[in-house]
A and B are shown apart, each in its own frame.
Chain A
Amino acid sequence: MSFMILFVFIFFVIAGLFALSFNMAGIKQSAQQLQKEATLSSLETIASMPELNCDSSIASSSTLCIDEDKAFIFSSQSQKYSAFWPVASISLRKVFPVSSDSKVDIPCPRENCTYYEIYNSHQKNFINYGTYVNLCQKQKSLGIVSTQCSLARLDVGMIIKN
């Protein structure tokens, strides 16, 4: 009888360990799902931030617009806001129009650059989520002020906690 009790005890311990491991897997999955939702919802938030958004004469509630001058300045001082961003990385890549000669991204800050690294936490493992935005700047030519826009892809890296 004592052996039967012992085996019953061991059975419950093993069953408990299985239940615990399922529960822990559920916590990790839940945390990753929440992190993914946070990253996706931050795409529009990041594009609308005063640090990156276009001026009021260009900005529209229906399209995402990033100021090219602000993006250029950020690419030269990306670590200044390192404690601020809720994501692992933020980058902008100009997709149209780009010079047909150039198939490689030209990183900013440099004249005629096409790749803006706004923030990089140097996390090794990450998942990228992206959307397309207008990348605009004000120009003045022959006394006429105009807005010059390009199409760019805004990529945001999701934080993965190991």
Chain B
Amino acid sequence: MKKYITYLIAMLILSLSLCFPAAAEKAPITFSEDFNTLYYQQSYTRFDASSLNFELQGGIIDDPIQLSANQQMAVDEVELREDMNEVIIHAMIKYHDGSTLYVYYLREDYIAEYQQLREEIDGDYTVDFAWPEENIVVHGKDAFFGKKTTVSSDTVSRSHCFTVYVDSRSGALALIKGELLLDDGEYYFLSYEENDIDGSEELYSGRYESFTVWEITDAELLEKLDQAESAYYDEDVGFLYDDELGEVITAVAMIFVFAVLPFGAMITFLVLAIRTTKLYRKLSVIICILSAIEISVFSLIAAIIMIAQ
């Protein structure tokens, strides 16, 4: 008996020790003294990320960060976040004096691609409609520069804007070239370069009264944009039902609540108005009148929406 118990305990200890994997020590993230270089599994170099189109991941990099003695004297905290393609790192460096430095780093093997992207003149432009997923239009650059005109900043503010960018060779980087404006059915391309502005923050800053834009006249591009725009507006945001079924259910429910029920109330209280007196009659008459008005207004709305479909 004692033997079996001993074997059992030995097996338990062995299996437990095998279950716990040796925690691989993660190499710490380090910076050069001047914070111009970062090392995180690979080398990253500080660079100018302005006008790049990328999205940072939600969570911060939780690998340990090792600062030099000098850096520790000045720096309180460092937070790092990667972009979705894992080629750009955003660093938020908080100093003891309360100031904060925001720095972008690019993986060294993408520097050549980045420089090529900045120098690229003739690449295809991509318009990102953002919704639904992968709703993008790719077309030659020249088609975006149609008829040159000017629009006011008010027009830009009220237009629907979609980012226009150029992808790098591998697709890991994208440089924003401007915005596609949709104003009352017309498409315009607003180039940041031609307007000498840095990005969308300047676009809505209120410092500019008007912008130079190009009305898109290329038929092929217009057709692509129309299709993408329809997908953008028609994609249903419901999650349980097919488009048509959901719309039918909604239409039936709305007709029942806003037409059938008030109609029923109108008839009921019309009868009551005839058969009752005093306050009951007054209330019944008011309910009938309101029901009639409500049904008329609802019918008007329904007619306008049906004509528009």
| A and B assemble together | no
